[in-house]
Amino acid sequence: MSSSRATRGPTARTPNDLWQAARAQLRARGLWPLPDEAFQGVEGRLAGALPPVEASPRFREALAANLDLLAQHRRSGVIVKAEAGSRRGALVGLGIASLAAAAALVTLVVYLSRGVSRHPAQTG
Amino acid sequence: MTQMDEQAQILAAQQDPRAFGALYERYVDRIYSYVYHRVGNVHDAEDLTSRVFFRAISHIGTYKDQGYPFSAWLYRIAHNLIANWHRDRSRRPLVSLEDLVISSQPEEHPESRAQEEDDRELLTDVLQALDPDRRELLDLKFNEGLSNAEIGQVLGRSEGAIKSLYHRTLLQLRRELNKKGIEIDVEL
């Protein structure tokens, strides 16, 4: 056994050694996933860099009171909806304005067409 | 508080909205922290946190236990509201990471403390350069303590996709930290 090892020499590599070396090369090039241990250092640093942020007591209490009020309204059958926002109002306004503009345009066209049809009779 | 206790609180809130307060007290700080990290200022964080809980109390009746914790449902609401917020304002998440970095322990040696401060600044730079979805993933994992499956529920992705994104993110962080001289020695 020892003689056979001697004939292979000190630089002889087993298939496992070759696989380890090949995998290391692939990992260095991002072609093979890194072991979980590779990320422990990064994860350790991240854990301390993203601390939780607490809400202010004033905000917490105010929101709790508002939620309680909403809950009581819902309980009593009053439906409280969140503010619809300006977008819906703008859309409704735009729709009404479009209808008004269309009506004005139709009126103008009808008025002008009548004026044109009367004009030859007045001159003749 | 056990899972059973939480289930009882959810059931109570579904039957009577006034019982929602217990769930609110349990999660308000976590939701606020999550929102704050996404929007980067107190005013919008408070506004969005309020909307999260108003929406939650309004839809608590439709909540169904699908094997994920109740917090994942809340985070999902917050995630959607924040996405709308960013879309409406065409803003990118801007978080003052300088405010988030924990200060060093006072009893440390000045040299090691200075080195640690330098490392934290570098880490801040690296985190700042990450894509918003990757930072959100890290926040949900490290700050909120959610599992990959729960994060997938929040972000609307599969557990496998989250795991893959997480590894890519760590790989990117590790590479960027090494570039900046913070060596993380690992036997490849």
Cα A50 to Cα B56, B78, B79, B144: the distances in Å are 26, 18, 18, 10
All residues of chain B having their beta carbon less than 8 Å from the beta carbon of residue A71 are 16-18, 20-21, 57
Residues B118 and B88 in one domain: no
Domain boundary among B75, B95, B115: B95
Return the residue matching tokens 């990450």.
B130
Residues B11 and B75 in one domain: yes
pLDDT tens, residue by residue, B8-38: 889 998 888 888 999 999 999 999 999 998 8
Domain count, chain B: 2
- Asked if A82's CB is within 8 angstroms of B51's CB, the reply is yes
When CB atoms are compared, the residue of B20, B24, B101 closest to A49 is B101
CATH code of residue B133: 1.10.10.10
Name the least confident of A31-40, A48-57, A104-113: A31-40
Token code pair at residue B157:
């992705």
Domain boundary among B95, B120, B140: B95
Q: What residue in A sits closest to B42 (Cα-Cα)?
A: A55
* The pLDDT of residue A122: 53
DSSP state of B17: G
Helices within B40-96 (DSSP H only): 42-59, 70-89
Domain boundaries, position B41: 1-95
Residues B113 and B185 in one domain: yes
Mean pLDDT of all residues in B60-87: 90
The complex scores an ipTM of 0.70
Token code pair at residue B34:
């999550």
Please, which pLDDT band fits residue B167 given cuts at 50, 70 and 90?
Answer: confident
All residues of chain B having their beta carbon less than 8 Å from the beta carbon of residue A79 are none
- Asked if B170's CB is within 8 angstroms of A42's CB, the reply is yes
Residue type, A29: R
All residues of chain B having their beta carbon less than 8 Å from the beta carbon of residue A42 are 170, 173-174, 177, 184
- Asked if B174's CB is within 8 angstroms of A67's CB, the reply is no
Residues B82 and B122 in one domain: no
Q: Is B42 exposed, middle or buried (0-12, 13-18, 19+ CB in 10 A)?
A: middle
Residues B90 and B106 in one domain: no
